[in-house]
């Protein structure tokens, strides 16, 4: 059971990392910004923070950004949901375990 939970959390975190890497590399190719700027823009874009200090200048980059926001937000929310649900499941298991030790199970 625990290995399944760990696998889900690892998969969720891996998905977030892959999204950031794809965004960073794509912005590097399309805009020619520095790697730091690309990473910064990728994270601020897919989290929909968008400070406005960097912005896409080409139509291709704008189109990519539109899809990147949609896909990145969906993956981020899904990943956070998996992590949150697994956290709650562990808490629930600990509560049940404590009740079993005390003999207070309903």
d(CA 46, CA 76): 8
One pLDDT digit (tens) per residue for the chain, 106 residues: 557 878 888 998 899 999 999 999 999 999 999 999 999 999 999 888 888 899 999 999 999 999 999 999 999 899 889 889 888 988 998 988 888 888 766 6
Could you state, in order of their start, the residue ranges of all structural domains in the chain? 2-102
d(CA 75, CA 96): 31
Length of the chain: 106
Q: Which CATH topology does 2-102 take?
A: Helix Hairpins (1.10.287)
Per-position DSSP letters for 8-51, written without gaps between them: HHHHHHHHHHHHHHHHHHHHHHHH---HHHHHHHHHHHHTT---
């Amino acid at each position: 059971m625990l290995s399944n939970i760990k696998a889900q959390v690892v998969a969720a975190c891996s998905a977030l990392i892959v999204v950031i890497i794809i965004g960073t590399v794509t912005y590097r190719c399309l805009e020619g910004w520095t790697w730091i700027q690309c990473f910064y823009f990728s994270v601020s874009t897919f989290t929909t923070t968008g400070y406005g200090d960097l912005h896409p200048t080409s139509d291709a980059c704008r189109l990519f950004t539109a899809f990147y926001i949609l896909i990145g937000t969906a993956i981020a929310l899904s990943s956070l949901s998996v992590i949150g649900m697994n956290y709650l499941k562990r808490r629930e298991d600990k509560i049940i375990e404590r009740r079993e030790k005390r003999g207070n199970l309903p």
